[in-house]
Amino acid sequence: MSKISLTIDDQIVQVEEGTTILEAAREVGIEIPTLCYHPDLSLHGACRVCVVEDLEKNILVASCVTPAVDGMRISTRSARARRARRRNVILLLANHPNDCLGCDRNGTCELQKIAYSLGIRREDVDLLAGERRNLPLDDIGPALKRDPNKCILCGRCVRLCEEIQGVSALQFSNRGFDSIVSTAFGLPQSEINCANCGQCATICPVGAITEVSEINKVWDALEDDSKHVVVQTAPAIQATIGEEFGLEPGTVVTGKLVAALRKLGFDRVFSTEFTADLTIMEEGHEFLERLQENKNLPQITSCCPGWVKYAEHNYPDLLDHVSSAKSPQQMFSALAKTYYAEKEGLDPEKIFTVSIMPCTAKKFEKEREELRDSGYKDTDAVLTTRELARMIKEVGLDFVNLEDEEYDELMGKSTGAATIFGTTGGVAEAAVRTVKEKLTGEPLERLNLGFRGVNETKVEIGDRVVNIAIANGLKNAAKLLDEVRAGKSKYDFIEIMACPHGCVGGGGQPLPMSKEKKDKRAQGLANIDKNKYIRKSHENPMIIKLYEDYLGEPLSEKSHKLLHTSYKKRAKN
Amino acid sequence: MACECGNKKESLDKYLAPLREVLKNYEKEEKYLIPILQEAQDEYGYLPEEVLKEIASYLDLSLSQVYGVVTFYTQFHLEPRGKNIIRVCMGTACHVRGGADVLAAVKDALGIENGETTKDLKFTLETVACIGACGLAPVIMINDDTHGRLTPEKIPGILASYK
Ligand code: SF4
Ligand code: SF4
Ligand code: SF4
Ligand code: FES
């Protein structure tokens, strides 16, 4: 590729041929606002917020889709470019509800930010006010809600769901003024092939797709003296929630998280990592059995409910490959209302289980009818990282300066193996650690599987070579699954996470997100694992105690009842 | 809503048989979506949900993608259409000469709104921008027949001749 040279705002810029004007500008630190553009997605060129002036040709062009050409002279800040950009943003606002105050994205909305930086005032918008959409919301949940009136038709969710998840649950429909992004027949997102991963919510620049909030439900439970409210925090939260309070991505704030939850009034603060260890025990032993019998291999992980729902729609023929182990969230809740209730002498009916999750798919998962093995609805409420941060802000806790506290005993102790559940590759690594030691007595070195896309590795366990693959992003997963379907997969164990980067990039995590941020979050989790004294799930003393006192052994009858589940075929469309 | 034959696989197969005949003539490529939709609509009179689902699976598209295309083009219909299609002209000439009153009279006579179909599937009502018969304004078309120089009073009689 040859280099070309152009001038942007009087700066000479040299870039590879094929670079867009926007990319060229960013290379030299010139910021051009964008809305429909996203670095992880194909180009769209719809919003025209990124317009710049081509001073040679005397025209305005959308910088995100226009290739830089040798000798070009571009102004990003000419009066004409600024006027056009401003006008385009005002036009978007003219058909947008005036609802920043009540919007979940207040403060993280890209449209709000651009409008502010361009100095747009309400009067400017009112001058251009015309007919406004008044479309029904899709808010029946349980995971996501969509407000099409806020949608600016940037198409980022559409492209993401197609290009990264391979689901295409959302599409543009109708035309002209009536254009909207919708599901087929405008069906609720919960009734279609959507995986509930919430990636669309993380990429939406505005508040058109957000999680269904359960904050009020949790406040009610906390204020109800007859309820014993038990909370679990997923592994990925400790390395991400700090961002909501201005800390660097990847800053580990486990102790402050625990302290904050106690201050909010939770009766017991436990960690989902405890049951992540348990998942590894159960799933590891399941894998051991399958290896020995050479049956239903590759075994595919089941801890990600986004992936599980996708499998039910798209690969129902492979459901036997999916581990029957419940996700750590559901194992935890089932035990909270049985094992924990028994140990503490509590009436399980009075126990209210809350989980803090990086994930919107977990909100859907908790509503599954089959997940009532405790005799009650196992999980009562799921809060995303963002929702918990809002509760903490609501009561004005100075999060960053909280004294570190420890998780409660019994279901709070975890190992490094459990921590890395939050990144991709973590589950596979944790399970293999335990299996290898069980079979050979030898410890497993770090696998160091990468965080992005598809990765593979092999591990020698005794005289057998075990081939492992991990995939994150459902479209990546589909490649591996098509091989399994065709009988051509060389793998014995496949870990799948719906969200790119795994749960550190989950649909409920702090916004905005970027690849770089997610890398840092994953690194944060990897560091905790490294520093933990116990790194193998089967050495967790509280897990040993749980088996001794209650479950018997992995895959026992009781384990099966409380910790395993089954899946059902769902229509592809 | 899609087919009256219930959910039984056998009757669904029977219902979809004509569509499957259509699909046989096309390779499984996205570019054939529009011709397939056109032929399917000729076959069924409109595009029922079950038909769209079958087309989506055949082309390995999601239902939302197919739905997006169907709703983009005005030639495609998601609801059954009436035996007679009434097009009321809303062009400038008709507008000036009382097109709106004619439209109101049609709505009144049939009890439906623009874009709707009567319950007995006899009539579908649509408005169009200009039929190109401005000399006859205000005009309506019913199927291929043009009716011009209308007054609201003439509407019931005209409609009756199509029942
Ligand atoms: S939740 Fe995931 S699968 Fe569902 S529409 Fe959003 S991105 Fe697509
Ligand atoms: S819902 Fe959000 S991401 Fe999707 S098109 Fe609308 S504004 Fe863009
Ligand atoms: S990868 Fe994690 S955050 Fe994303 S859907 Fe799966 S479990 Fe949820
Ligand atoms: S960001 Fe360039 S057109 Fe939308």
Whether A174 is in a domain gets the answer: yes
Nearest CA to A412 out of A508, A530, A527, A276 is that of: A276
Nearest CA to A518 out of A496, A498, A499, A495 is that of: A499
Whether A19 is in a domain gets the answer: yes
Q: Are B62 and A168 an interchain contact pair (Cβ–Cβ within 8 Å)? A: yes
Whether A296 is in a domain gets the answer: yes
Which CATH architecture group holds B8-72? Orthogonal Bundle (1.10)
Domain's final residue, options A50, A71, A90: A90
Nearest CA to B32 out of B58, B13, B50, B54 is that of: B58
* Cβ count near A106 (within 10 Å): 12
A386 shares its domain with A261 = yes
Which regions of chain B carry the CATH code 3.40.30.10? 84-160
A305 shares its domain with A442 = yes
pLDDT value of residue B2 = 47
Condensed to tens digits (0 to 9), the pLDDT of residues B128-158 reads 888 888 989 899 999 989 999 999 999 999 9
First CA to last CA across chain A, in angstroms? 43
Residue A403 annotated among the catalytic residues of the structure: no
Q: What is the ipTM of this complex?
A: 0.87
Contact between B36 and B55 under an 8 Å Cβ cutoff? The reply is yes
pLDDT value of residue B3 = 47
- Ligand 2 centre distance from Cα of residue A146 (Å): 9
Contact list in A for residue B62 (CB cut-off 8 A) is 167-169, 171, 184, 193, 573
A258 shares its domain with A296 = yes
Ligand 1 atom with least separation from CA of A195: 3
What totals of helices (H) and strands (E) does chain A contain, helices first?
Answer: 20, 17
- Ligand 4 centre distance from Cα of residue A111 (Å): 12
Q: Which residues pair with residue A468 across a beta bridge?
A: A457, A493
And the tokens for A540?
């967790």
Residue A157 annotated among the catalytic residues of the structure: no
What length is written for chain A? 573
A523 shares its domain with A405 = yes
Tell me the C-alpha distance between A281 and A335, whole Å: 15
Helix ranges (H only) for A345-425 are 361-366, 385-394, 416-419
Contact between A285 and A439 under an 8 Å Cβ cutoff? The reply is no
Whether A338 is in a domain gets the answer: yes
**Three-class secondary structure of residue A540 per DSSP:** coil
Tell me the C-alpha distance between A378 and A375, whole Å: 8
Nearest CA to A172 out of B74, B76, B65 is that of: B65
Tell me the C-alpha distance between A254 and A271, whole Å: 10
And the tokens for A383?
């809060």
Residue A169, amino acid: A
Residue A222, φ and ψ in degrees, nearest 5: -65, -30
Contact between A24 and A64 under an 8 Å Cβ cutoff? The reply is no
CATH number of B84-160: 3.40.30.10
* Chain CA centroid to CA A429, Å: 20
Domain of A15, in residue numbers: 3-90
Tens place of pLDDT per residue across chain B (163 aa)? 444 545 677 889 999 999 999 999 999 999 999 999 999 999 998 999 999 999 999 999 999 999 999 999 988 999 888 899 999 999 899 999 999 999 999 999 999 998 889 999 999 998 888 888 898 989 999 998 999 999 999 999 999 998 7
Q: The whole model's pTM is what?
A: 0.91
Domain's final residue, options A163, A193, A212: A212
Residue A286 annotated among the catalytic residues of the structure: yes
Which regions of chain B carry the CATH code 1.10.10? 8-72
Contact between A503 and A194 under an 8 Å Cβ cutoff? The reply is no
What length is written for chain B? 163
And the tokens for A444?
């497993």
Whose CA is closest to atom 7 on ligand 3? A304
And the tokens for A381?
């409420």
Whether A98 is in a domain gets the answer: no
Q: Which of residues 95-124 of B touch A (CB under 8 A)?
A: none
Ligand 2 atom with least separation from CA of A204: 3
* Cβ count near A423 (within 10 Å): 32
Whether A392 is in a domain gets the answer: yes
A168 shares its domain with A30 = no
For residue A102, what are the contacts with CB-CB under 8 A and spacing of at least 6? none
Nearest CA to A44 out of A163, A135, A173 is that of: A163
Tell me the C-alpha distance between A107 and A237, whole Å: 21
The alpha carbon of residue B89 is apart from the nearest alpha carbon of chain A, in Å, by 21
First CA to last CA across chain B, in angstroms? 26
Q: How many CA atoms lie within 13 A of A326 on its CB side?
A: 28
Q: Which residue has the tokens 């903490």?
A: A392
Q: Are B67 and A171 an interchain contact pair (Cβ–Cβ within 8 Å)? A: yes
A201 shares its domain with A232 = no
Tens place of pLDDT per residue across chain A (573 aa)? 689 999 999 999 999 999 999 999 999 999 999 999 999 999 999 999 999 999 999 999 999 999 999 999 999 999 999 999 999 999 999 999 989 998 999 999 999 999 999 999 999 999 888 888 899 999 998 999 999 999 999 999 999 999 999 999 999 999 888 899 999 999 999 899 999 999 999 999 999 999 999 999 999 999 999 999 999 999 999 999 999 999 999 999 999 999 999 999 999 999 998 998 899 889 999 998 998 899 999 999 999 999 999 999 999 999 999 999 999 999 999 999 999 999 999 999 999 999 999 999 999 999 999 999 999 999 999 999 999 999 999 999 999 999 999 999 888 877 777 676 666 667 788 778 778 888 888 877 777 676 667 888 888 888 889 999 999 999 999 999 999 999 999 999 999 999 999 999 999 999 999 999 999 998 898 888 777 766 678 888 899 999 999 999 999 999 999 999 999 999 988
The alpha carbon of residue A175 is apart from the nearest alpha carbon of chain B, in Å, by 5
Q: Minimal Cα distance from B49: which residue of A?
A: A185
Ligand 3 pocket mutation pick from A499, A501, A511 by most atoms within 8 angstroms of CB? A499
A412 shares its domain with A497 = yes
Q: Are B71 and A173 an interchain contact pair (Cβ–Cβ within 8 Å)? A: yes
Closest ligand to Cα A204: 2
A162 shares its domain with A237 = no
Parallel/antiparallel/unpaired status of strands A144-146 and A209-211: antiparallel
- Complete DSSP assignment for A187-217: --GGGSS-----HHHHH-SSTTEEEPP-HHH
Residue A405, amino acid: E
Residue A23 annotated among the catalytic residues of the structure: no
CATH number at residue A74: 3.10.20.740
The alpha carbon of residue B63 is apart from the nearest alpha carbon of chain A, in Å, by 6
Tell me the C-alpha distance between A35 and A152, whole Å: 9
Q: Which of A150, A256, A337, A362 is catalytic?
A: A362
Q: Are B64 and A175 an interchain contact pair (Cβ–Cβ within 8 Å)? A: no
Q: Which residue has the tokens 């040279």?
A: A5
Mutation site, B53, B59, B62, B70, interface A, largest A CB count within 10 A: B62
A398 shares its domain with A416 = yes
Q: Are A172 and B67 an interchain contact pair (Cβ–Cβ within 8 Å)? A: no
Tell me the C-alpha distance between A331 and B54, whole Å: 38
Domain count, chain A: 3
Domain's final residue, options A172, A189, A212: A212
Whether A130 is in a domain gets the answer: no
Residue A289 annotated among the catalytic residues of the structure: no
* Cβ count near A1 (within 10 Å): 8
Tell me the C-alpha distance between B122 and A27, whole Å: 64
pLDDT value of residue A137 = 93
Residue A362 annotated among the catalytic residues of the structure: yes
pLDDT value of residue A422 = 65
Contact between A237 and A358 under an 8 Å Cβ cutoff? The reply is yes
- Ligand 3 centre distance from Cα of residue A404 (Å): 27
Cis before A67? omega within 30: no
Whether A167 is in a domain gets the answer: yes
A325 shares its domain with A365 = yes
Tell me the C-alpha distance between A205 and A213, whole Å: 19
CATH number at residue A374: 3.40.50.1780
A367 shares its domain with A414 = yes
